[in-house]
Amino acid sequence: MTEVTYYGQVYGTQAALRRMRPRDRGVIVNVCSAMAYRSIPLQSAYCGAKHAIVGYSESVMTELAHERSNVRVCMAQLPGLNTPQFNWNLNKMDHHPMPVPPIFQPELPARAIVYLAEHPRRNIWVGVSTAYTILGERLAPKLLDFYLGRTGVKSQQTQRELPRWGSNVYAPQDADIDRGAHGSFDDQAHADDPLLWASIHRGALLGGLLAVAAAGAGLATAIRRVR
């Protein structure tokens, strides 16, 4: 888990920087998770790796800022996704693993990553659940400890009988077979995300809010003059 989830992005970042720094341009998008900020049960190795990616990425950001480099490092924080990863498992739980609800389709983070590559910014959150998980951890971490201790194990398992393709932890399996991007939870997965839409269109939203505020201020001034 650490080799792939953490070191994979470290090595990828280093390889990209070797080409980007000399030409002083480029964008690196590291894929993180709500679990980079709030750990959950049964996922200690994964959560640790995602926490590490945030720490590593932020350090590289500061080094590039020190160099006054135009290379950008961005992060995408993702929710539970309907991908085939839950059919590839070395499962020691009572039932088949599943993503933590609410579940989102993989096209949403793909859209966010492409957007970051074209419009780089430090961080983008995908999924309303990512927002309330990260914010909840900042506001009431002890309450989340209690809540996840009660619900976190059950919410990651399903009673449904789903395909089990075995483990690909130590070596790739079925490399010549394309399993697709979607997992077994299409019936539960959301194809839209208002948070991502608002994040991508935040300039227009801010402009609209400023226009409404200006109109409100103008109306208030006109009313006072009439009075």
CATH of the domain at 183: 3.40.50.720
Q: Are residues 219 and 162 in the same domain?
A: no
Q: Are residues 164 and 57 in the same domain?
A: yes
Query: How high is the pLDDT of residue 213?
Result: 66
Q: Under DSSP, is residue 146 helix (H, G, I), strand (E, B) or coil?
A: helix
Tokens 């995300």 locate to 193
For the chain, the straight-line distance linking the first and the last C-alpha, in angstroms and rounded, comes to 69
Q: Under DSSP, is residue 68 helix (H, G, I), strand (E, B) or coil?
A: coil
Q: Are residues 99 and 204 in the same domain?
A: no
Q: Are residues 138 and 220 in the same domain?
A: no
Query: How high is the pLDDT of residue 124?
Result: 95
Q: Are residues 122 and 186 in the same domain?
A: yes
Contact status, residue 124 vs residue 76, Cβ threshold 8 Å: yes
Query: How high is the pLDDT of residue 210?
Result: 65
Query: How high is the pLDDT of residue 178?
Result: 85
Tokens 């970042």 locate to 13
Query: How high is the pLDDT of residue 89?
Result: 79
The dihedral of CA 27, 100, 168, 162: what is its sign? Answer: negative
d(CA 126, CA 33): 9
Q: How many domains, in total, are found in the chain?
A: 2
Q: Are residues 212 and 133 in the same domain?
A: no
Contact status, residue 95 vs residue 158, Cβ threshold 8 Å: yes
Q: Are residues 173 and 71 in the same domain?
A: yes
Give 10-residue mean pLDDT values along the chain (227 residues): 93 98 97 96 95 97 97 97 90 88 96 96 95 95 95 93 84 82 95 92 72 66 69
User: What residues make up the domain containing 34?
Assistant: 2-192
Give the list of residues 6+ apart from residue 199 with CB closer than 8 angstroms, or none.
Answer: 112, 124, 125
Q: Are residues 155 and 55 in the same domain?
A: yes
Q: Are residues 157 and 217 in the same domain?
A: no
Q: Are residues 56 and 123 in the same domain?
A: yes
Give the list of residues 6+ apart from residue 38 with CB closer than 8 angstroms, or none.
Answer: 133, 134, 136, 137, 141, 144
